[in-house]
Amino acid sequence: MSKIVLVVFTSLVIAAGAADAVAQTAGSTVSVSKTEQRQIATGWSAKKQILGKSVYNNIGEKIGDINDLIVTPDKAVSYAIVGVGGFLGVGEREIAVPVGRLKQQEDKIVLPGATKDTLKAAPKFEYAK
């Protein structure tokens, strides 16, 4: 009888350990590590700091608004979709700007060297269908 209890207890301990290992492995594939969380915390929040925000050039002129962010198939955020021209969204056109060109300066998103005219002359962005 004690051998059966010992075997059952050992089996339960092994099963619990295996279940814990599976949970840890599963957790690591659907979430991030503590180190990654620290890196993420220092990054930009699309919702709080980017989407809908105005874009300025390096001399302080408002040149557009960020309407969207594109995540490419390789899972990298590569482009900001900037709405330029128009008034209150009417007549606005969208262009793609490489995210790496955007800078954050004093709580503003800056696209150095850009003007309203250069952005209006850029190719229009269209979503894939």
Q: What rounded mean pLDDT belongs to the chain?
A: 77
Among the CATH numbers 3.90.1150.150, 1.20.1050.10, 2.30.30.240, 3.30.70.3340, which is that of 46-121? 2.30.30.240
- For residue range 81-90, list pLDDT tens digits in order: 999 987 766 7
CA–CA separation, 69 and 75 (whole Å):
12
pTM: 0.66
Domain layout of the chain by residue ranges: 2-41, 46-121
- For residue range 9-35, list pLDDT tens digits in order: 333 334 444 444 444 455 556 787 888
CA–CA separation, 117 and 64 (whole Å):
11
With 0-12 / 13-18 / 19 or more C-beta atoms within 10 angstroms meaning exposed / middle / buried, residue 70 is middle
CB burial of 95-121 (b: ≥16 within 10 Å; e: otherwise) equals: bbbebeebeeeeeebbbeebeeeebee
